[in-house]
Amino acid sequence: MSDSEISLTLTVPEDIGKKRLDSTLAELLPEYSRTTIQSWIENRQVTVNGKVVKRKYLLTGNETLSVQFLPHEPLSIDPEPIDLDVQWFDEQLIVINKPAGLIVHPGAGNHQGTMMNGLLHHFPDLAYLPRAGIVHRLDKDTTGLLVVARTEKARQSLALQLAERTMKRIYQAVCEGVLIAGMTIDRPIARHPVDRLRMTISHQGKSAVSHVRINRKFRSHTLIEVALETGRTHQIRVHLNSVGHPLVGDTRYGCRTILPQAADEELIQYLREFQRQALHAGELSLIHPATREIQSWQVDPPEDFQKLVDLLSTDTRNRNSA
């Protein structure tokens, strides 16, 4: 291996079942394309327990994967002086509280004004990391905590924690209807076969597990906490909709907003005008890549989310005392 090459060592999760090498690496290293991963395998840059194998080689769990490749080319994305709510940073990590309306990274039709553009302005060295060190994301209108790696070592560590499901992420949400009890939703998720902007429950999809706990019940809604075991696109939104309790304000997966009977006009109007999914990533816990100690962060929901909860709480108290 040359001095400029990067070497990764990964352990295959033991509950993987039987899965192809290229598919497994794509899950363990989601920041790299399937084409890139397949080229590594074809070029003998990947070994399984020290042996070179084909990309269709079936893994069963606990194998040691070694990958060698050249560093990422600098990103060709323009830095922009976008204000970012940096909650914490050191030489390895950056933790950001993302507001509603901010897209995490550029995509079709969104080449500027993203969190990635802002990160590259405030932390220029991120240009030399895949996806500027971003290892997970939040939807445009979801608020809350995101962690970004500042070094390749940190990026590898965070990606592995996500793959091994040891990074803890807890969300607060307000859903339509009154949940009877907490639940674990274990339903695989895939891209919708017709509407490519939506995800859907599908037996052909990727494993997705969400643990739902009731925080507070209102007359027609529920404040919940959701702990993610996996991190699929739109996971919480799809899972809650699949059990008949879509998130308040979720126009993509929800339906007509439930209005509590005889509620005051302020609450009715606020529910009608709440134009984003009521979802906030409030807690994040991970193993620091350098110190190996567990670090945790918490951030309160933004004003619009808190006002929604306050109005629902007032409505419930008033009706119960009537």
**Catalytic (active-site) positions:** 139
Cβ–Cβ < 8 Å for 53, 44: no
The H-assigned helical ranges of the chain are 21-28, 34-42, 115-122, 152-163, 235-242, 265-273, 303-321
Distance CA 46, CA 37 (A): 9
Residues 6+ apart with CB under 8 A from 195: none
At 63, list the tokens: 């194998």
Closest CA to 66 of 140, 18, 114, 7: 7
Determine phi and psi for 3, rounding to 5 degrees: -65, -25
Within a 13 Å sphere around the CA of 8, how many CA atoms are in the beta-carbon half?
25
Long-range contacts of residues 315-319, Cβ cutoff 8 Å, at least 24 apart: 315/218, 315/219, 315/260, 315/263, 315/264, 315/267, 316/217, 316/218, 316/219, 318/264, 319/219, 319/260, 319/262
